[in-house]
Structure 1
Amino acid sequence: MENSKAVSTLMVTDRSPRETGRDNVKFPYRKVVGALGLMNLMIATRPDISYVVGVVSRSLENPTAEDVSQVKIILRYQNDTENLGIVYCPDRNSSALEEFSDAHQGGDVDTRRSTTGSVCKYAGGTISWLSQ
């Protein structure tokens, strides 16, 4: 995926409910998404991919071709944004702690479960994030 075309958006949002039958996909899905792949990247340095990694993690057991396509979009996004990072500005209201949160009620088209997320910032830079 190193030489793939870069993308500026992380996720395909127009998705229909998942079919009950699964595709037999030849892609190291669990390895790419799991603890040594995107999850590790999300936990350590990339709050911007937290939500979408949570979404693709729902199908670790038996991914479809659509799931694999979504993971490839994330990898292409990573190629496009590898030079971005978290920046802390000590002169930017450094005595204030900022917290933002949001929820998507019933957003999973398969299970109708909700997703919530929060970001905590200090000195203009993210110090903690969560999406579940």
Structure 2
Amino acid sequence: MEEGAKLVEKERYQRLVGKLIYLSHTRPDIAYAVGVVSQFMHQPQIAHMEVVCRIMRYLKGTIDHGVLFKSNGHLKIQGYTDADWAGDKGDRRSTSGYFTLVGGNLVTWRSKKQKVVALSCAEAEFRGIAQGLTEILWIRKL
């Protein structure tokens, strides 16, 4: 948020971001960017609308992208995690993310700001690993 920046039409912004949130279920490549712009739903500024328009232009240029599921002859579960440390300039909280593959196919993914401020990059990474591991254990139980 910039101090004194012009606001845009709130309802239009919310409609666009809502549609992007729905679309991000099948387009994980936009999930993080959509998560960021969705944080400004109550007071969207011109800069935020420009980012939404940039995401729309990206989608227009990548119409043929998506998630492909194919048989690979196994059901091996793989998970990958990552986290940044104090990546949000506003509240210094870290963002962690993970994705899991079953049989070589992407089945779950998530990127979320951590609930607490991590005191080190190791703490931020461990919190991210814990989230990813929880997801893998849930998939194993299925």
**Same fold by TM-score greater than 0.5:** yes
How many residues align structurally? 111
State the Cα distance separating 1:21 from its structure 2 match: 2.6
Q: Which residue of 1 aligns with 2:43?
A: 62
| 1:62-83 superposed Cα distances (whole Å, 9 cap, x missing partner) | 1111111111111111111121
Structure 1 segments (4+ residues) deviating >4 Å? none
- The amino acid across from 2:16 in the alignment is V
Percent sequence identity is 34
- 1:75 matched to 2:75? The reply is no
Per the normalisation by structure 1, the TM-score is: 0.76
Specify which of 17, 29, 39 is matched with residue 33 of structure 1: 17
**What is the TM-score normalised by the length of structure 2?**
0.71
Instruction: Give the alignment's Cα RMSD to 1 decimal.
Output: 1.7
Q: Does 1:23 align with 2:11?
A: no
What does the per-residue CA deviation read over 1:42-71, in whole Å, with 9 as the maximum and x for residues that have no partner?
1x3111111111111111111111111111
Structure 1 stretches lacking a partner, 5+ long: 1-17
Indicate the larger mover: 79-88 or 56-65. 79-88
Task: Give the C-alpha shift of residue 123 in structure 1.
Answer: 2.8
Worse-superposed segment, 21-30 or 65-74: 21-30
Alignment of structure 1 residues 1-132 onto 2, 5 Å: 18-26=1-9, 28-34=12-18, 37-42=19-24, 44-91=25-72, 94-132=74-112
Note if contact 2:99-2:106 (Cα within 8 Å) is conserved in structure 1: yes
Q: Which residue of 2 aligns with 1:14?
A: none
Q: Work out which of the two has the higher radius of gyration on C-alpha atoms and give 1 or 2.
A: 2
User: Given the superposition, is the C-alpha separation of residues 106 and 63 from structure 1 closer, same or farther in structure 2, using an over 3 Å criterion?
Assistant: same
Contact between 1:88 and 1:123, CA under 8 Å: does it hold in 2?
A: no
The equivalent of 2:135 in structure 1 is none
Q: Which residue of 2 aligns with 1:12?
A: none
Amino acid at match of 1:40: Y
Query: Gapped runs of 5+ residues in structure 2?
Result: 113-142
1:2-46 per-position Cα deviation (integer Å, ceiling 9, x unaligned) = xxxxxxxxxxxxxxxx32334121471111102xx111111x311
